[in-house]
Amino acid sequence: MSSAPPTPPKNLYICIECSSPVQSLYTAYSSADDCSLGRGVRLTQCPRCKRFADKYVEHDFVVLFIDLVLIKPQVYRHLLFNRLGREDDRFEPSIIRLGFLLLLFDVYLTWARIERNIPTDPLNTSAFGILTQRPIVVQYLFFLLLCLTESLLFHLTIRLISQYLLGATRPNAVSTALIVSSCTKLFPILMVIWNYEVPAAAKSVGWAVVVNNVEALRISLGIDYFRAAGLAGAGAVVRAVASQTILGWTGLLGDSDRWGGMGVGIEEWVGRLGLGK
């Protein structure tokens, strides 16, 4: 069942097919019909490509999520420009809630991954063992601060580069694009149903998020794939360095956590690249 069409912000409408500006996304031609069922609404036809300017105004969030996972540019244009875009560049409350939810999933994955490296020896006095001896609240706060620091540095790096090198004038819109494109982090909720390897899941989800981030940055900033990949890569490097530093300083850096959880140390990278010969 389709949800009621959203009320998009003014002067930010675009055709999700060809990116041409349009005056409106739909026309409510009958107040008697039930708009929650998709009736009483006539979608606007784009004057340039002759297709519906935004078909997603009649679709529910399940369809949006599926198309986000499939990395369809149309759904990103719908969300970033026609639904969440604001002239004052302020965050929508729904984006703040989504960002907080993604942070909690980061905490869960990081905590689970590091716990897999903790020896089962009860006499273990390493940093791993000491951490498990702390109250559960202390452990949670540690991983929460770790993930929060990583996320803030990731967003701040991309915002600054896009603002000072690419001339972006809406930094909050950049963060919105990153949060929306990171929705694939919600996939680990399937661990409640199926049991699978946490490090492998973290790697797969991490790469999927990077690909979605690149597409969202390309559409949000109107740049090519090369520069979008450079932005996402710069943010990922800063986040990985921060993670390595914090985990190394606390003595929690395991082999599966090296270089962003890829399980590869710098010596191995040198060997793979043939630089150690």
Both tokens assigned to 243: 């993670």
User: Which residues does 29 contact at the CB level (< 8 Å), separation at least 6?
Assistant: 40, 41, 42
Please give the average pLDDT of every successive group of 10 residues along the chain, which has 277 residues: 43 84 80 51 86 89 88 93 84 91 87 68 52 79 93 96 91 94 79 61 77 94 94 94 85 57 39 40
48 and 148 in a single domain? The answer is no
CB-side exposure of 88: number of CA atoms within 13 Å?
4
Do 128 and 26 sit in the same domain of this protein? no
Cβ atoms 2, 60 nearer than 8 A: yes
> What is the rounded CA–CA span in Å between residue 21 and residue 1?
29
Q: Do 58 and 106 sit in the same domain of this protein?
A: no
Does the residue 8 lie in any domain?
A: no
Parent domain of 122: 93-273
Q: Which of 54, 83, 112 is the C-terminal boundary of a domain?
A: 83
Are residues 28 and 72 located together in one domain of the fold? yes
Q: Is residue 225 part of a domain?
A: yes
Beta strands of 172-275 (E only): which ranges? none
Q: Are residues 65 and 147 in the same domain?
A: no
Residue 187: its pLDDT value, please?
76
In a domain, 193, yes or no: yes
N-term to C-term CA, the chain? 62
Rounded to two decimals, the pTM is: 0.78
Is 7 inside a domain boundary?
Answer: no
The per-residue pLDDT for 197 is 61
Q: Name the domain count of the chain.
A: 2
